[in-house]
Structure 1
């Protein structure tokens, strides 16, 4: 009796795909953030800021310490509709644009008011700051009899030579930093991969039984 052994042909076993290293998420975030930030800095037009400074001068019969309080009050009304409506003719822009692009700041130690304007055009930024400062001065002069203080222009706004907005390189660095941070957060919160269980081995199939004759024959 002849024993036939049947062998199954098995193809080459493919190795499982190798997982990317953990730091690839951070690197991808840095690269994507840098590209987005740099592109934003290139496409966004440069912004210029000009500032005009005003100072509150107390009158003859007024308390010098009260000048600081009046400076705070004038800083609050610098961007009010009445002042902006008076300034729009001189600035050559609508009041809505002045409301969006003009800011006023005061000092806690000195009776000064800083009126700043931002625009893509340097000359327009200076014109807006000076127009609002002039309108605020006229409003303060109209109330001089009651307040007993004067608002005097200390330094007019000049045309800025350099943009106040961040350059494309700075935007790219900020974007790269933000992208790297997001990549690190994604790395921390991603689910952990569990080790794959070992595949069970196929059970051995017994071959046909072979009977041996005591006389040496099968």
Structure 2
């Protein structure tokens, strides 16, 4: 009888109401991955040094006793040996680089419909990129023309490479856009592949 009735709202017991934390939406990985991809791509475009590319063209010309189709076949073969050790050994003095460096900074491409070979040199310097392409083109022409009497096909310089004015590597804006798309794609794939949420009790009862 001596105890006083406890009033409503009396907080002298020291207990505090629990705070409810709201969970983030289930689609939060999509914008998060997109932002991370944008930041990574933009940083790559800013920090990476620009790379330049210059292209020199040589064409396979048949003699009077050789059919044009034969020249087309030899153009395909010469494009394969454009980056070989023997060709790069000829080009090394003019390019001023070692054969190992030339192999990583030059590529040769050809078309199955044209007897023309495109030799592209890449470098951080525009002038060096042009020198690499011209050196390899001259070396390929020199080495192949030594056997022109037997093959009936001669390689001639069609267009000499010049120093480019614009870099071939993507800019920071393009790198950022690529990173944004890649990050958004990864985030979307994670949403599709994530494990299904547990069913609620009322859903299970229903």
* TM-score normalised by structure 1 residue count: 0.84
Deviation at 1:72, TM superposition (A): 0.4
Mapping for residues 19-98 of structure 1, pairs under 5 Å: 19-98=23-102
For residues 69 and 190 of structure 2, the distance between their equivalents in structure 1, rounded to whole angstroms, comes to 56
2: distance between equivalents of 1:4 and 1:189? Answer: 61
Which of structures 1 and 2 has the bigger CA Rg? 1
2:145 to 134, 141, 147: 141
> Structure 1, unaligned stretches of length 5 or more?
199-218
Number of aligned positions between the proteins = 197
Alignment deviations for residues 30-83 of structure 1 (CA, whole Å, 9 cap, x no partner): 111100100001111111100000111101211222110010011011000000
Q: Quote the Cα distance in structure 1 between the aligned partners of 2:82 and 2:198.
A: 63
- Gaps in structure 2 of 5+ consecutive residues: none
Q: Which residue of 2 aligns with 1:110?
A: 114
Asked if residue 128 in structure 1 is aligned to residue 132 in structure 2, the reply is yes
TM-score, structure 2 as length reference? 0.88
2: CA distance, partners of 1:160 / 1:130: 13
**In the TM superposition, what is the alpha-carbon distance from 1:148 to its structure 2 partner?**
1.0
Q: Secondary structure at the match of 2:189?
A: helix
Coordinate RMSD, CA, aligned? 2.2
Q: How does 1:149-168 map to 2 (within 5 A)?
A: 149-168=153-172
Deviation, structure 1 residue 3: 8.6
